[in-house]
Structure 1
Amino acid sequence: MSDLKEILQENSYMRQHQLIFADCDRYQRARVSTLLSMAAAVAGADYDARGLTYEKLYERREVFLLSRIALRIHRDPKALQVVDVSTWEDGVKGAHMQRVYEITDGEGLLVSIRSDWILVDPVTRHIMRPGTFTAKKLGICPKPIDAPATRKILMPREGVEELGTRKVVWSDLDGNGHVYSGNYGDFVWDYLPADLQEKLPREFFINYSKEATLGQELRLVGCRQGSDYLMEGLGPEGVCFSAQCVF
């Protein structure tokens, strides 16, 4: 087997990833949580490759928090497959710094992703305007990305069902001490109605609102809207995440 490749260019970054069984569901399809994790990981790897590690950004008091993701699955990645995960910065929209992705194989596009990030002072926890970011000039993606726009997900007032509770445990946490962004994909799938758990979504949207930390208990609620399913995770201080699955 050849070594996995990593390519850094002026305005893009690509890293290959081999999917293993642990990344996939019972049908050997990459789980949504895996796709979310790959997006978050390659964004960090892009900046690491440019010498802008988390530690350096922390020293500058300019760190990123993921706010929203929207993804479209064109073809499902499979277990043991080697895929190219490419990412580009894509400018600023309002308070968000944007980043886009493509996951491809030898036959073409598998998954396309858009994401919104907020700039935060890690000491004060205050949100900052993107224009105050000084570590580097933000890039613009030079190509169209066939992914849906990120969106604000709102639960309806009626027709919402109680799905249960999910306690945040040690294995949910990342190096920031809160639930890792990719793990919410598994939270959603574990609490979907059984008939939907079997299906592969065409699109998936998620909003990250408040961090969930060790020992907190999330109350999960959801509802069907046509072929879509909406879900919300409520913590002690309000909504932690909102998700929309499009089948």
Structure 2
Amino acid sequence: MDSRKYTVEYIPEFADCDKKYDIKPQVLLAWCAELAGNHLRSRNITREQMWKDGQVFLLTRAAVNFEKVPQYNNKLYMTTWEGGTKGSQFTRKFVVKEMDGNILCDVDTMWALVNPHSHKICRPSEYIYEQIPCEDKVEAKVIKFKAEAPKKIKDYTFVYSDIDANGHVNNGVYLRLMSDIIPQELTDKHLKTLRINFIHECRQGETVGLYLKINDKICTAEGRFPDGKVSFEAQAEFV
């Protein structure tokens, strides 16, 4: 076992899955965040200590490549490792495997190091803990994308249940919002790829317009504040 990696067994529960018995995208993203935190905790880098030291990681981008979407009650293994730094951000990879070793999906992520007290972004050189990066690659890749002339579907105002312990909208909420505006003829299919970029955080009571562009089996969504500033971008490809 590679000491630079951290592996946990998961079993998708009924509430974790959609009507196809596929794991919901927001659940997979929550697992990634949980696993990343537990990997650090296993090395005595706890969230509480990082908060005290004025350093926390915030997810900024994620990309998922599915060979097969994890499904209800199918035991799996999820592994994560640090990928080092890229520019001003930290990278982290994930891979999800069946018990026989077949890959179900993998995930590429980028994280900003932020001072939770001043809300200022810290440079990677300011990180006070040890990194143990692994150069292993995954198929998923964080890339830039943009919806060309998307159509506004509706407005959404964030409510109490959307907020997490950091005081802002939980990352998974944005994936749920995208899923809710995609037509059923596409959501009835299985996911092939998934991407999301978090640009400006949202808080309880704020409203965003939800926009969608469909190009064959690729859906690109945006959340925009009333002043036109983009909160998030997300893209899903179905097969």
TM-score range, shorter chain: over 0.9
Task: Name the counterpart of 2:234.
Answer: 243
Task: Name the counterpart of 1:4.
Answer: none
Query: Pick from 174, 182, 185: which aligns with 2:175?
Result: 185
Moved more, 87-96 or 120-129: 120-129
C-alpha offsets along residues 49-96 of structure 1, whole Å, 9 cap, x if unaligned? 222111110111111110000000111111112211100000111111
Query: Pick from 93, 96, 104: which aligns with 2:89?
Result: 96
1:127 maps to 2:121: yes
CA drift at 1:126: 1.0
Query: Pick from 60, 69, 73: which aligns with 2:66?
Result: 73
Report the residue type matching 1:110 in the other structure: L
Query: Pick from 205, 214, 230: which aligns with 2:204?
Result: 214
Q: TM-score, normalised by structure 1?
A: 0.90
Report the residue type matching 2:49 in the other structure: K
Task: Name the counterpart of 1:167.
Answer: 157
Q: CA 1:213–1:236 in 2, change beyond 3 Å: closer, same or farther?
A: farther
CA contact under 8 A between 2:75 and 2:99: conserved in structure 1? no
Task: Name the counterpart of 2:214.
Answer: 224
CA drift at 1:236: 4.8
Q: CA 1:161–1:236 in 2, change beyond 3 Å: closer, same or farther?
A: closer
C-alpha offsets along residues 164-212 of structure 1, whole Å, 9 cap, x if unaligned? 1222111111110111112222111011122222122210010011111
In 2, Cα distance between the equivalents of 1:165 and 1:126? 30
In 2, Cα distance between the equivalents of 1:106 and 1:176? 34
- SS of 2:174's equivalent in the other structure is helix
Unaligned runs of 5+ in 2: none
C-alpha offsets along residues 4-52 of structure 1, whole Å, 9 cap, x if unaligned? xxx9x63111111111111000011111111111111111111122221
Query: Pick from 39, 47, 57: which aligns with 1:54?
Result: 47
In 1, Cα distance between the equivalents of 2:96 and 2:62? 15
The runs of 4+ residues in structure 1 deviating greater than 4 Å are none
Q: How much is the aligned-residue C-alpha RMSD, in angstroms?
A: 1.6
CA contact under 8 A between 2:77 and 2:99: conserved in structure 1? no
CA contact under 8 A between 1:153 and 1:207: conserved in structure 2? no
CA drift at 1:215: 1.4
In 2, Cα distance between the equivalents of 1:144 and 1:208? 23
